[in-house]
Structure 1
Amino acid sequence: MEEKKPYLYLNAFLAKDEHASLKASDFLKGASQVNAYDLDKNYGLEGKLFVKVPEEKKPKWSSFAESITGVPLNELANRSSAAVLIIKTATSTMAFTFGYGRFLVDAKYFVHDFGIKTALNTLNHDSLRSIDLLTLEDQPVQKKSQASRESAVEAFGVDISRDVLRAVTGSPKTGVHLKNISGGDSVYSFGAEINVGEISDLVDLLYSYYNNESYKSGFSWVDNIRKVKEKSEVNSLDKIILKKIKSKSSDVIVTLPEIVQWDEIHGFSFTRSKKSIKPTVETEDYFYNLDPGSVSIESIKRDRLFVYDVHENEFEYQIYKCLYFEHKESNKTYILFSGVWYEIDNDFVSRIDAVLAQINISNLIFPKVYIWKETKDGKLKSKIETEGDYNSRAANEYSYHLLDKKLIKSNRTTSPIELCDLMTNDKKFVHVKHRKGGSAGLSHLFAQGNVSAEVLLGDREFRKKARNVLKRVSSGLQDSVPIENFKSDGVEVVFLILGEDSKNLKDNLPFFSKVNLSKVFENLSQRGFKVTISGVGTQPRPNV
Structure 2
Amino acid sequence: MAKSYRRLNLLMAKPLDDGQTFGDLLTDAPVDEYPLAGDLGIDGVVYVKQSTEKRPGWGPVLDEVTGRVVPGLANRSSSAVLLLRVDGDVFAFTFGYGRYLIEQSLFVQDFGLRAALNTLDENSLRSVDLHTIEDQPVQKKSQAARDSAVGVFGIDILRDVLRAVTGVPKSGVGLTQISGGDSMFSFSIDMEAADFPELARRAKGYYENDDYKTSFSWVDNVRKLKDDASIDALNAQLIQAISTRNPGIMVTLPEIGVWDTILGFSFTRNKDGIRPVIQAGDYIDTIPDLANLTIEGLKRDRLFVHDVDGNITEHSVYRCIYFEIADGDKTKIIFDGKWYEVDAIFIGRIAATLNLVQISSLVFPSVEIWDEEGKSKIESEGDYNIRAAATLGYFLLDKKLVKTDRTTSPIELCDLLTPAKQLIHVKHRKGGSAGLSHLFAQGGVAAEIMLGDKAFRKKARTVLRGVNPAARDLIPLDGVRTADYEIVFLILGEGSATLKQNLPFFSKVNLAKTFENLTQRGFRVTIAGAPTASRLLT
Aligned-partner Cα distance in 1 for 2:75–2:253 = 33
> 1:125 corresponds to which residue?
122
Mapped partners of 2:57, 2:393: distance in 1: 61
What pairs up with 1:512-531 in 2 under 5 angstroms? Answer: 512-531=506-525
* Equivalent residue letter for 1:434: H
Deviation string, structure 1 residues 395-451 (Cα, Å, up to 9, x no partner):
233332221112111112222111111122332211111112222211111111111
Rounded Cα–Cα distance in structure 1 between residues aligned with 2:530 and 2:372: 23
5 Å-filtered alignment, 1:356-505, equals 356-374=354-372, 381-505=375-499
* Superimposed CA distance per residue, residues 24-74 of structure 1 (whole angstroms, 9 cap, x where no aligned partner): 222101x21222233333434332222223255667777788788887777
Q: Residue type matched to 1:368 in 2?
A: S
Q: Is contact 1:91-1:204 (8 Å) kept?
A: no
Q: Deviations over 1:369-388 (max 9, x none)?
A: 2234456xxxx654432222
Q: What is the CA deviation profile of residues 483-536 of structure 1, one whole-angstrom value per residue up to 9, with x for unaligned ones?
A: 222332322221110111012112222222222222222322232222222110
Query: What corresponds to 2:261 in structure 1?
Result: none
Partner residue, 1:41 = 38
> 1:479 & 1:396 partners in 2: Cα distance?
20
CA contact (8 A) 1:253 1:325 kept: no
Tell me which residue corresponds to 2:341.
342
- SS in structure 1 of the partner of residue 139 of structure 2: strand
Q: Secondary structure at the match of 1:158?
A: coil
Query: Helix, strand or coil: the match of 2:484?
Result: coil
In structure 2, the CA distance between the partners of 1:45 and 1:79, relative to structure 1 (3 Å rule), is: same
1:431-488 deviations in Å (ceiling 9; x for gaps): 1111122222111111111111111111111111111111111123212122222332
- Is the Cα contact below 8 Å between 1:123 and 1:173 reproduced in 2? yes
Q: Which runs of 5+ in 1 are unaligned?
A: 256-286, 304-318
> Relative to 1, partners in 2 of residues 1:349 and 1:254: Cα closer, same or farther, differing over 3 Å?
closer
| 1:295, distance to aligned residue in structure 2 (A) | 5.2
Alignment correspondent of 2:162: 165
Cα distance between partner residues in 2 of 1:324 and 1:192: 46
- Displacement of 1:199 after TM fit? 1.9
Distance in structure 2 (CA, Å) of the matches to 1:171 and 1:402: 55
Paired residue secondary structure (2:500): helix
- Which of the residues 96, 101, 110 maps onto 1:99? 96
- Which AA in structure 1 matches 2:24? D
Q: Aligned pair 1:242/2:236, yes or no? A: no
Partner of 2:11: 13
Q: Provide the rounded CA distance (Å) in 1 between the counterparts of 2:23 and 2:253.
A: 34
Cα shift at 1:122: 2.0
CA contact (8 A) 1:497 1:536 kept: yes
* Superimposed CA distance per residue, residues 241-290 of structure 1 (whole angstroms, 9 cap, x where no aligned partner): 223576897749999xxxxxxxxxxxxxxxxxxxxxxxxxxxxxxx9999
**Shift of residue 105, structure 1, vs aligned partner:** 0.5
Give the whole-Å Cα distance in 1 for the aligned partners of 2:9 and 2:127.
Answer: 17
Structure 2 residue 145 is matched with structure 1 residue 148: yes
Moved more, 334-343 or 39-48: 334-343
Residue of structure 2 equivalent to 1:263: none
> Is contact 2:161–2:223 with CA below 8 Å preserved after alignment?
no
After superposition, give the CA deviation of every residue in 1:305-350 in whole Å (9 maximum; x if it has no partner): xxxxxxxxxxxxxx9x99995416699743358987624324x434
Distance 1:495 1:339, change over 3 A: closer
What amino acid sits opposite 1:110 in the alignment?
F
Change (3 A) 1:152 1:292: farther
Q: What is the percent sequence identity of the aligned residues? A: 50
Q: Which residue of 2 aligns with 1:351?
A: 349
- d(CA) in 1 for partners of 2:113 and 2:448? 37
Q: Distance in 2 between matches of 1:160 and 1:464?
A: 34
C-alpha separation in 2, matches of 1:393 and 1:63? 66
Given that residues 400 and 423 in structure 1 are in contact (C-alpha distance below 8 angstroms), is that contact kept between their aligned partners in structure 2?
yes
Q: Aligned equivalents of 1:324 and 1:140: distance in 2?
A: 15
Query: RMSD of the TM alignment (CA)?
Result: 4.2
Tell me the CA shift for residue 115 of structure 1: 0.9
The CA distance in 2 between the partners of 1:291 and 1:81, in whole Å, is 48
Distance in 2, Cα, partners of 1:465 & 1:97: 60
Alignment check: 8 A CA contact 2:253 2:433 kept: no
Q: 1:7 to 1:332 in 2, by over 3 A?
A: closer
Distance 1:138 1:482, change over 3 A: closer
- Alpha-carbon deviation of 1:119? 1.3
Aligned to 2:268: none
Residues in 1 aligned to 2:223 and 2:532: alpha-carbon distance in whole angstroms? 38
Distance of 2:241 and 2:137 partners within structure 1: 19
How far is 1:7 from its partner? 1.8
Question: 1:344 & 1:373 partners in 2: Cα distance?
Answer: 44
Normalising by structure 2, we get a TM-score of: 0.77
Distance 1:290 1:73 in 2: 59
TM-score w.r.t. length of structure 1 = 0.76
TM-aligned CA deviation for residue 21 of structure 1: 6.1
Distance 1:345 1:291, change over 3 A: same
Flag the 1:371–1:243 CA change in 2: closer, same or farther, 3 A: farther
Out of 209-218 and 527-536, give the one that drifted further. Answer: 209-218
Deviations 1:82-109 (A, max 9, x none): 2222122344221111222212201232
Q: For the structure 1 residues 138 and 368, does the alpha-carbon distance in structure 2 shift closer, same or farther, using more than 3 Å as the test?
A: same
**1-structure distance, mates of 2:367, 2:201:** 64
Inter-partner Cα distance in structure 1 for 2:439 and 2:193 = 58
Secondary structure of 1:391's aligned partner: helix
1:27 corresponds in structure 2 to 25
Of residues 177, 181, 188, the one that matches 1:180 is 177
Contact 1:333 1:511 in 2 (8 A): no
Q: 1:86 to 1:325 in 2, by over 3 A?
A: farther
- Alignment partner, residue 275 of structure 1: none
Q: Does 1:189 align with 2:186?
A: yes
1:413–1:205 Cα change, 3 Å: same
Query: What count of residue pairs does the alignment treat as equivalent?
Result: 485
> Which stretches in structure 2 are left out of the alignment for 5+ residues?
256-283, 301-315
8 Å CA contact retained: 2:128, 2:163: yes
Contact persistence 2:485–2:524 (CA under 8 A): yes
* CA–CA separation in structure 1 for the residues paired with 2:521 and 2:340: 37
Number of the residue aligned with 1:273:
none
What is the CA–CA distance in structure 2 between the aligned matches of 1:460 and 1:222, rounded to whole Å? Answer: 38
The CA deviation at 1:188 is 0.8
One-letter identity of the residue aligned with 1:493: I
Partners of 1:88 and 1:392 in 2: CA distance: 70
Corresponding residue number in structure 2 for 1:313: none
- How far apart are 1:125 and its partner, in Å? 2.7
Contact residue 330 and residue 341 of structure 2 kept, 8 A: no
